[in-house]
Structure 1
Amino acid sequence: MPIYVQRILELIKRYPGVIALLGFISGIGSFMLVDRQESLASWIAVVMLASWVWLMLENSFTKLFSRMFKRDIPPLLLRYATQMIHQESLFFVLPFFFITTTWNSGQLVFTGLLALAGLISIVDPLYYKWLAPRRWLFLALHTLTLFAAMLTALPIILHLTTAQSYKLALGTAMLLSFPSLASSFPIAHWRRGVMLVVMTLAVGASGWLLRSWVPPATLWLTDVAISTEMDNVNRTPGKKLKEVTTTQVRGTGLYAYTAINAPRGLNERIYHVWQFNGKEVDRIALDIHGGRKEGYRAWTHKQNLPENPAGRWQVRVLTEDGQVIGVLRFNVTDPGQGAEQAARTK
């Protein structure tokens, strides 16, 4: 092994957190560049996906290298390269998922798994002594990381919608999960092969059914409001309210206002799903366009309210596939009921 390569490996081994720190800094930088609509963010995402292509075709590339140059790539170098890509990828995507996660929902689980994977990738005893020997677990981390990287990169590079990106990323994760399962459960009989196919489909079905638990990595709310009035000319809401009376809502109805940040060039359909006491009462589609620094401003106006609208209300902001961008919560109170209760206590 060349001396300079050995020195680099020794430095990486001595300071494993440096690679993770560089990945986190590049993730923050890319996040800020996406927010400001700079094309450099696309190049950062392209580099991330290119590194994953190399990782997936690692065996083919190393054989080609050996055939062409009559020299093997040191296994230690490959091992650290794999760890570096995991670190760089995880800490690249984490800033996006931290800002887009709705923390009081199932999305906490997905982002928490990514954070745990990031921690494992920078702690050598965990990565090499606990994770790496368990091939199925190692490939599971590999698949999870690629899934998150694709969710983040595809809308930036190809301007795919969140729904399209999710389907493509999930399909790729299913394909990668098959060799992962096959390495843990060797195909010795056709029944074992059928079982592996069923297990792979189960992975895909689980990812689809739990899609609301996955934050939309490149969409986030920059401003929200519930109001009884709206300035259509300036596209701004009136006074932001957390509590509204039945008299107010019967008079003017309610506006749900959201400003959503999206990458430049991205056209996305979202939904305002109005819920009353936990039940959906309306679903209104909105088309948003990326590229505005302060977010694309859109609102819905609800006038067809229940006969007695007093209670707990939510407006869930969802992607076309049901991923949660954010939730607006407010209460509608009935002054008349309060007066009746007060009179009874006298």
Structure 2
Amino acid sequence: MLIWKARLQRLSTFVVALMARYPHLVAVFGFCSGVFSFIMVDRHRAGFARVMAIVMLVSWIWLMLENLLTKRIKKRFGWELPPPLLRYATQLIHQESLFFCLPFFFVTTTWNSGQALFTGALALAGLIAIVDPVYYKWLAPRRWTFLGYHTLTLFAVLLTALPIILHLTTPQSYEWALGIAVLLSFPSLAVSVSIQKWWRWLALLGLTAVIGTAGWFARAWVPPSTLWMTEMAVTAEFDNSQRTPGDSLETISAAQIRSQGLYAYTAISAPRGLDERIYHVWRHKGRVFDRIALDIRGGREAGYRAWTHKQNFPPDPVGKWQVQVLTEAGQVIGTLRFEVTP
């Protein structure tokens, strides 16, 4: 036992010294592992994707129970993990989590919508994680800021991992991710705030409820991290036998759409085994005219092909149109735009 403890002590001392000497190793490793995992998922190697997602979630469980597990290890083995090693481990978990998620969100974000704010916040969080002076001197000492950072990263990990591990639909993943993130934020808030009076407990419960409610109503601003467009088109022609659209149009005359209608074609990539319902929402000058449900299945490399054919147009269809592709939770997968001319 003494030999084993001495070896662990030497190993931990060596790792801490190595990271102190080469601090950028943690950042490079976190970035490379995150991008590599995205590439593997994108190629539909579901086994690797599932393992990577489970590793991410297990690491977060460790992070949440870090103090308890450290005390148990010290009590059981009489050996304490060095604080610098724990700090590096926390930073590495943040880095790997963010760089695992960010490629998904960069691909799925509709950049001319409010989703750009969410993905921009994640990108900023990723940058903070690899800049040691900012991470250790500005973020870590600010308890409330660090808590928000921690919760945002966990929420992004859950959004990405749950559909891969459990084959949950996008609405189910959002509900679970939001619920777990809010639930885990409560004990962290309780530790951060000195609660000595009963009304502070009520205030803390109220704050937790506000966080959950805000997260639910902001869901349209959160990209569906595991659903993304591989192809899209608004076209007047469609080959049903080959399931291929004609040329995508940016303008079309009112006479043409009245005579032959218009197709909205989308190919959407999703994890293997995922069955999802999406909607093509046709809008004219901001007003919804049609909301058509479509069921897609994941696993096809080029994306699952779905289309709608609209023939019923208003008496005066002239103007700007949009076809929004939405999940059941209202998250935007993509937007097709065209204009009808007189």
Q: Is the CA contact 1:171–1:204 (under 8 Å) kept in the aligned structure 2?
A: yes
Match of 1:192 in 2: 200
Return the alpha-carbon distance in structure 2 between the equivalents of residues 88 and 15 of structure 1. Answer: 18
Q: State the 1:270 CA deviation.
A: 0.6
Task: Tell me whether 1:41 sits opposite 2:49 in the alignment.
Answer: yes
Query: In 2 relative to 1, CA 13–216 (structure 1 residues): closer, same or farther, beyond 3 Å?
Result: farther
Return the alpha-carbon distance in structure 1 between the equivalents of residues 134 and 234 of structure 2. Answer: 47
Return the alpha-carbon distance in structure 2 between the equivalents of residues 216 and 16 of structure 1. Answer: 34
Return the alpha-carbon distance in structure 1 between the equivalents of residues 69 and 191 of structure 2. Answer: 21
Return the alpha-carbon distance in structure 2 between the equivalents of residues 323 and 10 of structure 1. Answer: 46
Q: State the 1:198 CA deviation.
A: 1.0
3-state SS of 1:195 partner: helix
Q: State the 1:286 CA deviation.
A: 0.6
Return the alpha-carbon distance in structure 1 between the equivalents of residues 20 and 172 of structure 2. Answer: 39
Match of 1:308 in 2: 316
Return the alpha-carbon distance in structure 2 between the equivalents of residues 327 and 113 of structure 1. Answer: 22
Partner AA of 1:26 in structure 2 = S
Match of 2:301 in 1: 293
3-state SS of 1:260 partner: strand
Query: In 2 relative to 1, CA 316–83 (structure 1 residues): closer, same or farther, beyond 3 Å?
Result: same
How many residues align? The count is 334
User: Which runs of structure 2 are paired with 1:55-204 in the superposition (5 Å)?
Assistant: 55-204=63-212
Q: State the 1:179 CA deviation.
A: 2.8
Q: State the 1:252 CA deviation.
A: 1.1
Return the alpha-carbon distance in structure 1 between the equivalents of residues 24 and 317 of structure 2. Answer: 54
Return the alpha-carbon distance in structure 1 between the equivalents of residues 128 and 193 of structure 2. Answer: 25
3-state SS of 1:282 partner: strand
TM superposition score normalised by structure 1: 0.93
Task: Tell me whether 1:52 sits opposite 2:60 in the alignment.
Answer: yes
Q: Is the CA contact 1:140–1:180 (under 8 Å) kept in the aligned structure 2?
A: no
Q: State the 1:30 CA deviation.
A: 2.2
Return the alpha-carbon distance in structure 1 between the equivalents of residues 192 and 82 of structure 2. Answer: 26
Q: State the 1:178 CA deviation.
A: 1.8
Q: Is the CA contact 1:100–1:216 (under 8 Å) kept in the aligned structure 2?
A: yes
Match of 1:341 in 2: none
Match of 2:241 in 1: 233
Match of 1:24 in 2: 31
Moved more, 44-53 or 291-300: 44-53
Return the alpha-carbon distance in structure 2 between the equivalents of residues 69 and 178 of structure 1. Answer: 31
Q: Is the CA contact 2:250–2:339 (under 8 Å) kept in the aligned structure 1?
A: yes
- The unaligned stretches of length 5 or more in structure 2 are 1-7
Return the alpha-carbon distance in structure 2 between the equivalents of residues 150 and 44 of structure 1. Answer: 12
Q: Is the CA contact 1:271–1:283 (under 8 Å) kept in the aligned structure 2?
A: yes
Task: Tell me whether 1:280 sits opposite 2:288 in the alignment.
Answer: yes
Task: Tell me whether 1:271 sits opposite 2:240 in the alignment.
Answer: no
Q: State the 1:12 CA deviation.
A: 2.1
- The unaligned stretches of length 5 or more in structure 1 are 335-346
Partner AA of 2:287 in structure 1 = K
Q: Is the CA contact 1:220–1:261 (under 8 Å) kept in the aligned structure 2?
A: yes
Deviations 1:112-131 (A, max 9, x none): 11111111111222111111
Match of 2:270 in 1: 262
Return the alpha-carbon distance in structure 2 between the equivalents of residues 13 and 277 of structure 1. Answer: 58
Q: State the 1:184 CA deviation.
A: 4.0
Return the alpha-carbon distance in structure 1 between the equivalents of residues 24 and 168 of structure 2. Answer: 33
Q: Is the CA contact 2:12–2:82 (under 8 Å) kept in the aligned structure 1?
A: no
Q: State the 1:185 CA deviation.
A: 3.2
Partner AA of 1:32 in structure 2 = I
Match of 1:252 in 2: 260
3-state SS of 1:2 partner: helix
Return the alpha-carbon distance in structure 2 between the equivalents of residues 79 and 23 of structure 1. Answer: 15
TM superposition score normalised by structure 2: 0.94
